[in-house]
A = this chain, B = another copy of it.
Amino acid sequence: MEYTLGELAALLGGRLQGPADLKIQGIAAIDRATPRDITFITQKRFARLAAQSQAAAFIVGPDQAQLPRPLIIVEQPYLAYARAAALFAPPLSRWPGVSPLAFLGREVELGQDVSIAPLAYIGNGVRLGDRVTIMPGCVLQDRVQIGADSLLYPHVTILERCLVGQRAIIHSGAVIGSDGFGFVPGKEGHTKIPQLGIVVIEDDVEIGANCTIDRGALGETRIGRGVKMDNLVHLAHNVTVGEHSFLVAQVGVAGSTKLGKGVALGGQAGVAGHIELGDGVQVAAQSGVSHSIPPGQTVSWTPARPHMESLRIVNLLSKLPEIHQKLKDLEKRVSELAATTVEEPRE
């Protein structure tokens, strides 16, 4: 892949400052770029690395326009970097058509230009939209449906009847539609509650490697439009994740909990079952959320509290030895003081 700097400026909608015919063959971080690469400055603290960088050119914001190097000046350098990375990304290696080494069940419906790699299993009644890509080792059980332009990396498992929208990206080892963890406790052991529901994944969702999303006990587990999930996230049965929420790695959400729109859960955070996190709630990494949180609030720690309160408490914990000592000193001082004071007669 090769572009001229002028072409790149046009493709990124940026202002060119430098030679339009400069050839760019790749994109790299500022400290690793070679003279064939373009790089980018998304934060001021990286600007100091520019002088030493061997990069051929820089994508920068207006505040770096004085940099004496070939530049593409854009309003949002981070977004322009994402777009430039897409331009230099190697083309997706996908199997041309349906491999004879894949297994296809009965009554499978395939859209235009579907790719099914060897060693994939496509159950009965599965429907795949146009340009869907199924990589090797995927298993789609009966009656799964996947929308157009979705991409399943190797070893994705989608269990019966689950629905995936358009433009989904599902990473390797993810399991969609496993049974929810539902049992009736009893003296003779736990009785399994059959999990009859499904998982519904709306459009533009990305699901990380080795995530697990359980089907509803009844009804649905639903992942809203534009949700992004990192690796090893667990969503229990009947969870609802609102649009554009953002779940970092190793998060766990217990059953029937409802996350609003634009919720952000930090890595390893845990959310209890049957609660509701309002739109825009932010949960810090490793927090444990056991109660519903109103919209817009940021919480942290275990058990999770408003972030400012957590900070105050965590800060005071450092002073706990000092507090303990001061209390002991004060007790002693009061005892001494009491001894010096003539006690007033009771009557």
Contacts and interface: CB of A to CB of B under 8 A. Distances in A.
A268 B270 contact: yes
A116 B27 CA distance: 36
Interface string A108-126: 0000000001110101100
B218 A231 contact: no
Contact of A121 (B142, B154, B185, B324): B154
Interface in A219-262: 219, 225-226, 228, 230-232, 234, 236, 243-244, 246, 248-250, 252, 254
A26 B88 CA distance: 52
Given A82-B184, A190-B228, A231-B178, A119 B103 contact: yes
**Oligomer: number of copies:** 3
B173 A29 contact: no
A175 B155 CA distance: 9
A189 interface: yes
Contacts of A341: 337, 340-341
Interface stretch (A2-10, A11-19, A67-75, A192-200): A192-200
Contact of A196 (B27, B290, B312, B334): B27
A169 B320 CA distance: 46
Interface stretch (A58-66, A202-210, A275-283, A291-299): A202-210
A50 B108 CA distance: 41
B153 A155 contact: no
A190 B185 CA distance: 42
A189 B226 contact: yes
Given A93-B124, A250-B234, A319-B324, A157 B157 contact: no
Nearest to A155: B157
B154 A154 contact: no
A296 B153 CA distance: 40
Contacts of A103: 101, 118-119, 136
Interface residues of A, number: 120
A228 to B, nearest CB: 5
A256 B207 CA distance: 21
A182 B155 CA distance: 22
A120 to B, nearest CB: 8
A267 B268 contact: no
Given A32-B218, A196-B88, A231 B234 contact: yes
Nearest to A303: B314
Contacts of A193: 81-82, 85
A230 B89 contact: no
Given A101-B103, A142-B93, A159-B172, A323 B324 contact: yes
